[in-house]
Amino acid sequence: MIESYDAVEEQFLFAATYTPGTADGSRPGLFQFNASQFGGHQVSATSLYLHEGVPGHHYQIMLAREAEGPPWHMQQTGLTSYIEGWALYAETLGYDLLLYEDPLIEYGHLRLQLLRLVVDAGIHDQGWSRQQAIQFMIDNGPHGNGISGEIDRYIAIPSQALGYWLGQERFAQMRARAENDLGAGFDLGAFHHEMIGIGTVPFPVLGSKLDAWIASQ
């Protein structure tokens, strides 16, 4: 399901969120967005959908929850670098899908993640105050509701924004290795299934899984 936040929520929440559904289908996955500031996020709408919806959070999380065999913790829990790393990697698939040919749409894809990295480092390494971080987002990013709540999240969870980026880099590196090793035999869909088909795993374990898959090909 896709819907906007209600009038109360949109005052405090930023661009978008995803709430997983249940494996038995009794509750669908829910992608919500902040309609009050849609004008500020319209150039980001493409990457927001790729991140929160398909092939991002909704696709990865529900694939894990509906899988048969993996233990509970791999289906129901998540590591930031894996969960958010996959969703950020999913945004980059917009290049494969030719969704970023408009420079403004590509700018929307890059903007928020770069702002997050600067703010995370500013707060936890450079000694920025909460107000400095909020002002940086106002001056350099989309205006609207939810910025203070977004900054509070970065304050409360040090390096979470960095985890997005590092996770995305690991997925991209694994794809590059598989493409190089397999050449013309590389299948992007099969690679993606290997990466997310069994639920959340640490990257060292995922790397070993990738080695075995490449060898099997």
d(CA 14, CA 30): 16
Task: Indicate the angle between helix axes 103-124 and 160-182, nearest 10 degrees.
Answer: 130
Max avg pLDDT among 12-16, 160-164, 186-190 = 186-190
How confident is residue 143, by pLDDT bands cut at 50, 70 and 90? low
In which band, very low, low, confident or very high, does the pLDDT at 36 lie, cut at 50, 70 and 90? confident
Q: Say what the pLDDT of residue 108 is.
A: 84
- Distance (Å, rounded) from C-alpha 120 to C-alpha 29? 29
Give the mean model confidence (pLDDT) for residues 103-129.
Answer: 92
Domain with 72 in it: 2-216
Structure tokens at 50: 């790729």
pLDDT score of 43 = 58
Q: Which residue has the higher pLDDT, 70 or 60?
A: 60
Count of structural domains within the chain:
1
pTM for this predicted structure: 0.90
Burial class (CB in 10 A: 0-12, 13-18, 19+), 25: exposed
Planar angle of CA 183, 191, 189, nearest 5 degrees: 100
Band (142; pLDDT cuts 50, 70, 90): low
Q: Of 59, 12, 4, whose CA–CA distance to 34 is shortest?
A: 4
Mean pLDDT, rounded, for 143-154: 81
Q: Identify the residue whose tokens are 């940086």.
A: 136
Q: What is the pLDDT of residue 156?
A: 95
Evaluate if residue 82 carries a pLDDT over 60. Answer: yes
